[in-house]
Structures are given as structure tokens and as C-alpha cells.
């Protein structure tokens, strides 16, 4: 099972999500920024590295919040969500097509990657009946 990290970055009552490039896996889906854990790396180290590589920010990763698991035809993944306590630098789109600050209540209206969507009730208390259209 592949282990992936996800950042829950909140600012002024909104959370940061990023649109995956259409050319990669889960292309065109929104996600909480993060990425795959490399050998010898802790999940927290991975997340700090990924945020530097993907968004150009230096972050202070906080506590583990929740996880989700998704199975595919030939693989499966576990997504580990961590709260980001603070960051420095300007958020940039170095690998994503777009980033947005979104109110937690609006997250379910975005076309999130499956593992990220499964985090909504665990992290924000949002269920599938709370969608507000397409994002």
C-alpha cells in the first residue's frame, strides 16, 4: 500500500486545495497538497518537502488528523492528513494548475480525488449530502 501525505492548511476560516495537472494521475481533480513518502522519511518530513516542492512554502507540520484508504484495480493508497500549523513564503502553483482558499463547507462541491473526499467527514464533519453543486 502506497502512503501519501496531505496538508490541511487553514487561513482566515478557509482551507487550501490544489487542482492536479490534467496530465498526471487523478488529473483534473482537486486535492489537499502533499505527496508520497520516500524511504527513510517520516510522514511529517515528507509533507514539509512536498509543500516546498509543490507550493514553494516552508511549513511547520503539526498533528496527524485522520487517514483514508482507497483501492484501485492494481494498487491501493493510504492518505495521511496533517494540520499545518504555519508556513512562510507565498503559495505558488509549481506543479498544480491552480490553488484556491475555500470555506470548509464548500469543499464537497469540488471534484476532489477519492482519498481526499473521504477525509471530509473525518476532518471537517462534512457528509456527502452537504455538496453545493460542482466546483
Give per-10-residue mean pLDDT for the chain (135 aa).
96 96 80 97 98 98 97 91 97 95 95 95 74 38
Number of structural domains the chain divides into = 1
Give the predicted TM-score (pTM) of the model: 0.89
24 domain residue, yes or no: yes
9 domain residue, yes or no: yes
134 domain residue, yes or no: no
69 domain residue, yes or no: yes
Where on the phi/psi map is residue 74: left (φ > 0), alpha (ψ -120 to 50), or beta? Answer: alpha
CATH code: domain of residue 25: 3.90.79.10
90 domain residue, yes or no: yes
105 domain residue, yes or no: yes
pLDDT for 23 equals: 73
129 domain residue, yes or no: no
Domain that includes residue 100, residue range: 2-124
135 domain residue, yes or no: no
18 and 96 Cβ atoms separated by less than 8 Å: yes
Amino acid at each position: 500500500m502506497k502512503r501519501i501525505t496531505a496538508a490541511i492548511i487553514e487561513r482566515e476560516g478557509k482551507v487550501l486545495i490544489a487542482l492536479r495537472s490534467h496530465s498526471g494521475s487523478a488529473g483534473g481533480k482537486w486535492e489537499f497538497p502533499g505527496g508520497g513518502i520516500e524511504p527513510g522519511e517520516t510522514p511529517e518530513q515528507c509533507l514539509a518537502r512536498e509543500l516546498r516542492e509543490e507550493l514553494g512554502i516552508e511549513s511547520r507540520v503539526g498533528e496527524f488528523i485522520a487517514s483514508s484508504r482507497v483501492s484501485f484495480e492494481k494498487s491501493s493508497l493510504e492518505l495521511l492528513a496533517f494540520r499545518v500549523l504555519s508556513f512562510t513564503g507565498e503559495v505558488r502553483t509549481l506543479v498544480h494548475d491552480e490553488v484556491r482558499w475555500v470555506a470548509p463547507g464548500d469543499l464537497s462541491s469540488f471534484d476532489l480525488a477519492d482519498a481526499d473526499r473521504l477525509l471530509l467527514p473525518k476532518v471537517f464533519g462534512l457528509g456527502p449530502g452537504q455538496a453545493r453543486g460542482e466546483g
